[in-house]
Chain A
């Protein structure tokens, strides 16, 4: 009985976050050529060619089910750039690949320009590099892709108006970093590019984790203070009107599926079209 393809790949040690050895580059040349380019992309010794396909796809039993895997060509840079770290941009990501094994290394990659497809057959005969992304970095890269394709599309005009208060809004949301609340907004004119003089009307909801709502008075206080600061900053934007009657801090146990469908999750990546 012939070996199962996925098991052979698994036996080589491939999974999401694994790094393709630089020594494999010559065999990859045909797949690392950008459309219209004469020469394949050069993968330098310090570069990380990271496998970003989900492990279940990398190890799929039948080759024909998943004939290709996706890799991301990450290049080292001197230091993290504020606008590209922590998923602030859906186009470019600066990140540390593995604090435990490569503390000083910072990588950067473009979501599309540095993404390539490789035949999965290439993984059968050779294992990954000694380097690999940490679990946190792997989760970060996957979250970055999810954000890029899952975020709602807001009107450019809305983004431009709100973007001017980005720093103040970001500051207001600082207490929510621990995932104790999620910010959701309803936008009345979400598909329209409004002209100057016409306001976008937003309703803002801070949806609080039920455990915090029911048992953490200090957490709730921080959330209410953040809400007041956020709404003030948002309402202060030219061309933005916050519907204060509808806006509120609400328990996650009360915010319904219907409410979720009527709102978008607030994310600063939603404001990143003007980089």
Chain B
């Protein structure tokens, strides 16, 4: 799990907790107004969806609430002291103790996955489209994740989430616009070359700048980037051949792997 949230009433040290989608649970526990039964929609890691029902009330402190996941039909304790905590794998309330958060993170991941066992990951159509668009951008730009994240003006962790179709990440306005702009620039490049922009983007231009640097700016000068493509295409022409390209040109072909065997049915 890589999602990180910061609850409103806790310090940073306590707040760096990994969680999937605990918002409703946080609200319920922090307000300490748990109804007798509270159904909370939960999306488990892996895409499974279920409902957590809080049974009984809890006090913010050491007291634990009991929750039942409808998917598992099993009783699981929820630590009300740690408002962002998810279901624990321990089932015996008496045996429960507040463990260091590292232990919590490990057990929570297991518990979430156990809860989603049997459910298939079915990415939403929007998520699939998002990943497809990003895959197209990656194919055109051929940049490592960190650099692509810079181009898209997002953190590397953020980009990982965008690339995970099992996550229903909604791109905000600025991110959407940036993605569309980068996509448009990418199309211009792919119209002119089948090769990825890749390492060429780091080649210094006449003015000393690089296309990668231009693309990583807060406000991309689209016209300047497109103008620089001419110079990059010339550099592409003059790019020395790799060893394997020379071998291929000389007639030394790659030996096909066993995967090239046709399917047997």
Contact = CB atoms under 8 A, between A and B. Distances in A.
Contact of B144 (A146, A176, A218, A248): A248
A143 B262 CA distance: 13
A224 interface: yes
A245 B113 CA distance: 23
B189 to A, nearest CB: 9
Contacts of A80: 264-265
Interface stretch (A5-13, A19-27, A42-50, A228-236): A228-236
A84 to B, nearest CB: 10
Nearest to B103: A197
Interface of B is mostly: helix
A196 B163 CA distance: 28
Chain B interface residue bracket vs A: 35 or more
Contacts of A146: 258
Chain A interface residue bracket vs B: 35 or more
Contact of A232 (B106, B156, B165): B165
A86 interface: yes
Contacts, number: 126
A140 B195 contact: no
A165 to B, nearest CB: 9
A217 B140 contact: yes
B256 A179 contact: yes
Contacts of A232: 121, 163-166
Contacts of A237: 113
Interface in B136-160: 136, 138-140, 142, 144-146, 156, 160
12 contacts: A95-B264, A139-B258, A177-B259, A211-B248, A217-B140, A223-B139, A228-B135, A229-B165, A231-B163, A248-B145, A253-B243, A253-B245
* Cβ-closest 6 pairs across A and B: A220-B139, A143-B258, A225-B135, A221-B139, A224-B135, A238-B113
Interface of B: 2, 45-47, 103, 106-107, 109-110, 113-114, 121, 131-132, 134-136, 138-140, 142, 144-146, 156, 160, 163-166, 190, 194-196, 242-245, 248, 254, 256-265
